[in-house]
Structure 1
Amino acid sequence: MLFANPNAIRETYPDRLKDIMNVEKANQSGAWLSQWSRLNPAGTPLHSLPDLAAELGVADILVKDESKRSELGSFKALGAPIALVRLILCEFPEQRFDAHGLLSGRYSSALADFTVISATDGNHGRALAAAAQSVGCGCVIVLHANVSIEREQAIATYGAEIIRISGNYDQSVEEAAALAQKNGWWVVSDTSYEGYEDIPRDVMQGYGTIAAEIIETGCAFTHVFLQGGVGGLAAGIASYLWELKGGQRPTFIVVEPDQADCLYQSAIAGKAAKTNGSVDSVMAGLACGDTSPLAWKFLQPSVDFFMTIQDSEAVSAMRRLAVGSEQDIPLEAGESAVAGLVGLVRIINSQTLCAEVGINTQSRILLISTEGATAPGVYAELVGETDASVRARQQAWLAKA
């Protein structure tokens, strides 16, 4: 389903939003992150897929490959460490900590009794656990019933204490907040709620690094497809590009699972809303039922279209990217990484939708492949081959290029 957002505007980035998130703070976050040993200092590649573009009848398809961001395998590695660093700097001003010293563990002895906690579908919790381990503070991660054992083990590798609940993601968020209040811990979440916006803002500001790297390439694009979830990634990237491009910003389309359509429902309601679905989706990173109210402040005026997709379409897109072609590099794209491609294909297959969204033979499409095989077993089951096999084919393609 596709919904044209009646509240989307094309004008200069508003000061009321710039006071919350802006390019300057995003670039500062990127500078800090460049000093974290767990990230690829070169950023992530932006690939052009000319064969897929020709197949779909557009001028170009650009894919930002976040599987190469770090050992953590996803874009979430940009948000959690920035939020953790800003939290510590704010809470301990008298210590005169610095960002590089924190991320290198220089102040670990002073932070041994400081503990952070978060709920997660997998990737954010893994990134927070890794950041906390680097900093030297404690970390507790709350997992809901649908998070795989494979993802739990990946988080535990970084020394986090794991707490399991029987409910869904939104209930795990509530549990994390309750445990934090009871134990004097700090919630470092990527979703906001009443009275809790500063840390999610910092998480989203970290995601602006993706947009900054894209802009540095000089590549042009007319349409940007962004994953849904609670809205943090979409808000972080859209706000950055909007501030730079102003009224000439690209068309933004947000894509999410049919059964976890909280942003789609928010667009219809004209305010942050909940999903009407079960939330359970193979696209685990997008299986969220509640819109982040803070993210919605940015998405409501900037996103032109909201759409929903089916799990089966995501699996097909994963396989298509994994195979590659003579001119298209094979890509290791996880379940949530392919939502944008699915949305694009859905629109291309309808002349009516193409006309509505303004996609034609001159369109240049930007997709964000947000994760690699963060659950290798699930990936192999869905794609029909291992992530290692896809990476080997990718290396062979690069050797010939």
Structure 2
Amino acid sequence: MGPPRRAARGSEPPLIVSSCAHLTRFPFLAATSEHEVVSTPGHARLVPNPWRERGYGGPPRGPTRPISFHRTMPGYAPTPVVAMPGLARTGQVAGIAVKNEQDRLGLPSFKLLGSSWALHERVKAAAGLSPDALIAFPDLSRMARGLGPPTLCTASDGNHGRAVAALAEALGCGCVVVLPADSAASRIDSIKGHGAIVELVDGSYDDAVAAARAAAHARGHWYCPDTVGAEAADEERTFASDVMAGYGTLFEEFFDQIFRPPDLLFVQAGVGGLSAAAASSLRRISATARVVVVEPEGSNAIALSFASGAPVSVPDTPTVMACLRCQSASFVAWPILLAGIDAAMVVTDEEAAAAVRELARRGVIAGASGAAGLAGALVASADGMLRARLGITADSQVAVVNTEGATDPASYAAILAG
């Protein structure tokens, strides 16, 4: 995909509102570009994407659907969708549906969908099989062992690393996961619990990614990234793209379960893989539904990238939404985000924590990262300006994803007590 095209002046009503009267609370959005941003007296900000392609139908699909493979995995079943009629009434919308990923294939997040499909494709390529071949999971285990078996290596802020570790354990492979040194002890222990070696690096998530890539190359491991930079080799880009394709199973299930495309989908983002998968899946069935990326305050690389029209990085900023604490969008996710996402929204730790508590009252366990999409939906539906800019009405059907359970029990307990 070439450089982003600027929206034609006067071609449609502008999505961007503004007065920036309240931007002192968010200096990182105050001077992003010539584009204005939607600001509110509260703690949320909306950065519309002026380069959204109205005719975009998602990237080309491969010859084999990831869900066909996932159905061969032991314990596979679609995760539930939970209706939230009380929250819908509060938000003055017709409905809020939550896709609940607190338990997916025995893990407390959706991440195994991506890593398993990407490894399926990697093993298939290593074995010289046809691109349209489908390997059932029991056969994948046998084939992986026949290849060495390889040692898998990745970086993580928690959930992707645990998914790769669990996959390696199931396939009989070794595994090395590189994490920032300030990662929660519970996340480190959960990864070690699958037999993986955990290596800690001082610095940010981006530093962990660089360290994992270097370690994999130096040691001859299979590098299994869920994000890549522009410098990545083709094999690395392919793996990260396949991770995103694997996430598509979540949305294929979701849209079948709710019987119709939602009017709005709020989906949280770290490096943008899940939100790119959301855009890819939804754009194949609806050109008019709006997809809004939700990011933590400070870890708002996608919002700033929309404002500038090109990928930008942000400093490492602590947040209770630890799994969204990322400094840049994935190189392979960015073109999809640019073409398929309508806007990026920033939420605070306090708003995410409030959404955690709302879900808990309704029997859904969610960490702060898992509740971020709902936080965006609740803040947007409660604000007149944001409702107008996103086209939220009393007839709107809103969809969100709870991407994780209580992956950091101490943090979860503190939020519930707050």
- Where on the TM-score scale, by shorter chain, does this alignment land: which range? 0.7 to 0.9
Corresponding residue for residue 217 of structure 2? 181
Find runs of 4+ consecutive structure 1 residues off by over 3 angstroms: 94-98, 101-104
**224-233 vs 83-92, which moves further:** 83-92
Corresponding residue for residue 69 of structure 2? 32
Distance 2:328 2:244 in 1: 16
* Structure 2 residues without counterparts, runs of 5 or longer: 1-44
Over residues 18-72 of structure 1, what are the superposed CA-to-partner deviations in whole Å (9 max), with x where a residue is unaligned?
Answer: 2xxx2x55x62111111112xx422101111111100111000000001132321
Deviation at 1:303, TM superposition (A): 0.8
Over residues 135-181 of structure 1, what are the superposed CA-to-partner deviations in whole Å (9 max), with x where a residue is unaligned?
Answer: 11111100112211110110111111111111110000000011111
Corresponding residue for residue 394 of structure 1? none
Corresponding residue for residue 317 of structure 1? 355
Deviation at 1:98, TM superposition (A): 6.2
Q: 1:215 to 1:345 in 2, by over 3 A?
A: closer
Does residue 1:91 correspond to 2:126, yes or no? Answer: yes
Quick check: which one's helix share is greater? 1
Distance 2:266 2:109 in 1: 17
Aligned match for 1:333, one of 366, 369, 383: 366
Aligned match for 1:49, one of 84, 95, 102: 84
Aligned match for 2:307, one of 268, 276, 296: 268
Distance 2:72 2:378 in 1: 38
Q: 1:348 to 1:375 in 2, by over 3 A?
A: same
Corresponding residue for residue 228 of structure 1? 269
Deviation at 1:103, TM superposition (A): 6.3
Answer whether contact 1:103 1:134 (CA < 8 A) is retained: no
Q: Which letter does structure 1 place at the counterpart of 2:380?
A: I
Aligned match for 1:204, one of 241, 244, 267: 244
Answer whether contact 1:112 1:136 (CA < 8 A) is retained: no
Deviation at 1:90, TM superposition (A): 1.0
Deviation at 1:278, TM superposition (A): 3.2
**Match runs of 1:121-132 below 5 Å:** 121-132=157-168
Corresponding residue for residue 154 of structure 2? 118
Does residue 1:171 correspond to 2:199, yes or no? Answer: no
Aligned match for 2:331, one of 293, 296, 299: 293
* Structure 1 residues without counterparts, runs of 5 or longer: 325-329, 386-401
Q: Which letter does structure 1 place at the counterpart of 2:297?
A: D
Corresponding residue for residue 257 of structure 1? 296
Distance 2:183 2:155 in 1: 11
Q: Which letter does structure 1 place at the counterpart of 2:189?
A: Q
Over residues 100-148 of structure 1, what are the superposed CA-to-partner deviations in whole Å (9 max), with x where a residue is unaligned?
Answer: 2556633454244411100000100000011111111111100112211
SS in 2 for 1:293: coil
Distance 2:392 2:266 in 1: 12
Root-mean-square deviation (CA), in Å? 2.0
Deviation at 1:291, TM superposition (A): 1.0
Distance 1:291 1:104 in 2: 30
Over residues 233-289 of structure 1, what are the superposed CA-to-partner deviations in whole Å (9 max), with x where a residue is unaligned?
Answer: 0011210111232x33x10100000111111111111112112x4332110110000
Answer whether contact 2:123 2:140 (CA < 8 A) is retained: no
Q: 1:292 to 1:159 in 2, by over 3 A?
A: same
Q: Which letter does structure 2 place at the counterpart of 1:169?
A: Y
Q: TM-score scaled to structure 1, two decimals?
A: 0.87
SS in 1 for 2:333: helix
Distance 1:239 1:107 in 2: 30
**Match runs of 1:373-384 below 5 Å:** 373-384=406-417
Corresponding residue for residue 198 of structure 2? 162
Q: TM-score scaled to structure 2, two decimals?
A: 0.84
Corresponding residue for residue 3 of structure 1? 47
SS in 2 for 1:68: coil
